[in-house]
Amino acid sequence: MTDTESARTNYVHDTMKKLSYFLSVSALSLVFAASAAAQNPPQKLTLVLNGRANDGAVAQIDGRSYVDVETLARILNATLSFKPGRVILTGPAAETVAKPEHVVQGFSKEFVRAGIAQLAEMREWKGAISSAIRSGVAGGNWLAPLLKEHRSRAAEGLSLASVAAKTESDLKALDLLKSEFTNLGDWDSQTQSTIQSLNAEKSLSPLAAQNDPLLAKISECGNFLNAMLVGGEFADSTSCH
């Protein structure tokens, strides 16, 4: 056998010896690892997510806690996908919950201002009608244009209050203002009709006017509406219907 062949034989022998030793050590390590795992099995823990318990979802090994990604996806109702070098966990789409519209309660400032201004116009109108009653036939002719002007101003004030009404309370109070305007208009028409039917020698009795049930209703409603708007809280009154 030549020196070259002898060296090659010795190299192969040494390599096989080392490989045999490595396999023996590796096998022994696996045995020890399996034995250690058998002596210290993973501890199963309960995972509580959003108040919902999931038994055995967590495995605790060597002081560290692990959750199987597929189990986690199931708990979260998520989508799980695998790509080279990546695990993709996609949560469920958030549910769209329609929020109830915010309803503004009480009177708006704009409506209160417009409503009080309109009541002031109606008080002026009511005062002019009372003056016509005291004047009788003598003042009926020249007071008629003045009463018409007061009616127009009160109608304009009511229109401004209608535009300003925004909240539910505004709209309810607006109906009462409209009723007061209608009653006052009826009293104006009745008064002028009565004055025109009188002879020159006759006049209306102011006392009779004070006892007029329609005037009493108008006065009570006007006082009620003013107090309600100043108070800032809607209420109802039979005098305004």
Tens digit of each residue's pLDDT (9 = 90 or more) over 22-36: 334 444 444 444 555
Rounded distance between C-alpha atoms, residue 49 and residue 121, angstroms: 66
Between 109-164 and 168-197, two packed helices, what is the crossing angle to 10 degrees?
60
Average pLDDT over residues 130-147: 76
Average pLDDT over residues 179-190: 95
Rounded distance between C-alpha atoms, residue 218 and residue 235, angstroms: 17
Q: Quick check: 148 pLDDT over 80?
A: yes
Band of residue 18 on the pLDDT scale cut at 50, 70, 90: very low
* Full-model pTM: 0.56
The long-range contacts involving 5-8, CB below 8 angstroms and separated by at least 24 positions, are: none
Strands 52-61 and 79-83: unpaired
Rounded distance between C-alpha atoms, residue 91 and residue 89, angstroms: 7
> What is the DSSP code string of 26-63?
HHHHHHHHHHHHHHSPPEEEEEEETTEEEEEEEEEETT
> What is the DSSP code string of the chain?
--HHHHHHHHHHHHHHHHHHHHHHHHHHHHHHHHHHHHHSPPEEEEEEETTEEEEEEEEEETTEEEE-HHHHHHHHT-EEEEETTEEEEEPPPPP--PPPPPPPPS--HHHHHHHHHHHHHHHHHHHHHHHHHHHHHHHHHHHHHHHHHHHHHHHHHHHHHHHH--SHHHHHHHHHHHHHHHHHHHHHHHHHHHHHHS-TT----HHHHHT-HHHHHHHHHHHHHHHHHHHTS----GGG-
Q: 179's torsion region: left (phi>0), alpha (psi -120 to 50) or beta?
A: alpha
What are 37-90's pLDDT values in tens digits?
455 667 777 766 666 767 777 677 776 776 776 776 777 777 877 777 777 768
Lowest mean pLDDT among 21-30, 46-55, 102-111, 195-204: 21-30
What are the residues facing 61 on neighbouring strands? 64
Q: 40: number of CA atoms within 13 Å, CB side?
A: 7
Between 168-197 and 213-231, two packed helices, what is the crossing angle to 10 degrees?
150
